[in-house]
Structure 1
Amino acid sequence: MSGKPLLIFGSAEIAELAHFYFSHDSGYDIVGFTVDDAYVEADTFCGLPMVPWSEARTRFGPETHACHVALSYMKLNRLRQAKFEQVKAAGYRLPSYICSKSVSWPDLQMGENCFILENQTIQPTVKLGDNVMLWSGNHIGHGTHIGSHTYFASHVVVSGHCRIGERCFFGVNATLRDFLKVGDEAFIAMDASLTKDVEAGSVVLGSPGTVFGPDDPKGRKIRNNYFGLDD
């Protein structure tokens, strides 16, 4: 083992991808995986130990190991946030990953546990909160701030100086005009075109975007069905 030891929290597709990217493009060595005890289904994952969370601090303690939470956007990123906070409260450092095949600048400000894949264009003076996930091929315009626990699918275009809240979801090929404000837990669907500010909890569909506010029954049904919520 030549790199820094890293434990991954997760046991599904995102965890498998985190294992691949950290293994091939970082200074970390993956030593094992962990999930909450009730979700342990096997002793190994990706050929490495799968450790119940109740045993993680004993076998791979925070004094010597970092931990990366690798979970999907289900529950509109609330689960990812909860597990991020659980791991942080246990004393672990949560490293971020940014692919070497992306473009960014030295002034990029990024929180903990971000997961940023290849072919991004991240322009100057961008700020990312904690636990932000950017899938491949996005454009993040200059001066944009993205709140914690937000998820971007691929090929999203965010123009300059946008302010995006926490726990948002942006689908493939979504587009945002410059200087927009997007509230917390907004769902910007695939191919949506956003030209005006939206409130927290809004749903935006289509191009030009049709906006369903947080109290619109249709919007709430769409959001709850897609993310498995019961709001």
Structure 2
Amino acid sequence: MSKVVIFGVKDFAELAHYYLTTDTDHEVVAFCVDRQYLPESGQFHGLPVHAFEDIEQTFPPAEYQFFAPMSPSNINLARAKVYDAIKAKGYTCISYVSSRATVCHNVIGENCFILEDNTLQPFTTIGNNVVMWSGNHIGHHGSIADHVFFTSHVVLSGHCTVEPYCFFGVNATIRDGLTLAEGSFIAMAAAVMKKTEAWGVYRGNPATKAEISSKDLKY
């Protein structure tokens, strides 16, 4: 069991608190946000909210761990920035893997948030700071890099390589053996049949590249 500080005070933080409290032995001891976003009450779910800038003074890295399950805004770059800031302070981050997910001795990195009904087939590795919302199928012999976000009911077939910062919309389907280049944005219900280009946006069935960079998306 670890004593855990959760980054954030919005929906993802609230969900993290629920899952850690009901489905793990971890003890959530506090929340934190950047100082400018501190709530007037100073509390969230009955726990104190501290400023991230000096969090280590109250919760030293040798005694506490972190969890930062943030939304994928700005093609996951904001999530990566927070994760890197936490690591720079010397913290270890926990990962949450639902007791109702199917895993097959997969290597899973830090600060991953893997919810119920995900299936991870054997010999696929998961990097750091990866979010998998509920109900995804992750095929065998694949590699998923850092800062990737799966929404729900994505099918990633076997032998796929997913590079950092990729985003997968609901019901997206990826054929086997493909490489999804850095920052690829796979839209809802897209069926990807060919490898993607870095920071490309892919829509449709079969998916085609849109004339926009994923870095320009606002969501």
Q: CA deviation at 1:109?
A: 0.8
Query: 1:142 pairs with 140, 143, 162, which one?
Result: 140
| Corresponding residue for residue 224 of structure 1 | 216
Corresponding residue for residue 195 of structure 2: 197
Per mean C-alpha deviation after superposition, the further-off stretch among 56-65 and 120-129 is 56-65
Gaps of 5+ in 1: 213-217
Report if aligned partners of 1:33, 1:50 keep a CA contact under 8 Å in 2. yes
Measured in 2, the distance between the counterparts of 1:49 and 1:167 equals 31
Match of 1:175 among 169, 173, 176: 173
> For residue 23 of structure 1, what is the amino acid of its counterpart?
T
Deviates further, 137-146 or 46-55? 46-55
Kindly tell me the number of residue pairs found equivalent between the two proteins: 218
Secondary structure class of the residue paired with 1:19? helix
Question: What runs of 5+ residues in structure 2 fail to find an aligned partner?
Answer: none
Task: Indicate the larger mover: 33-42 or 168-177.
Answer: 33-42
RMSD of the alignment, in Å?
A: 1.2
* Cα distance in structure 1, aligned partners of 2:88 and 2:215: 30
- Give the C-alpha shift of residue 79 in structure 1: 0.7
**TM-score for both structures, normalised by structure 2:** 0.96
Instruction: Report if aligned partners of 1:203, 1:223 keep a CA contact under 8 Å in 2.
Output: no
How far apart, in 2, do the equivalents of 1:37 and 1:20 lie? Answer: 24
CA contact (8 A) 1:187 1:223 kept: no
Render the CA deviation track for 1:23-74: whole Å, top value 9, x for unaligned: 1111201001001111112301111100011331111111110011121100
Deviation at 1:225, TM superposition (A): 3.4
Whole-Å Cα distance in 2 between the matches of residues 37 and 84 of structure 1?
A: 17
CA distance in 1, matches of 2:89, 2:28: 19
Following TM superposition, the consecutive aligned residue runs of length 4 or more in structure 1 with deviations greater than 4 angstroms are none
Deviates more, 1:47-56 or 1:174-183: 47-56
Which of residues 206, 209, 212 in structure 1 aligns to 2:207?
A: 209
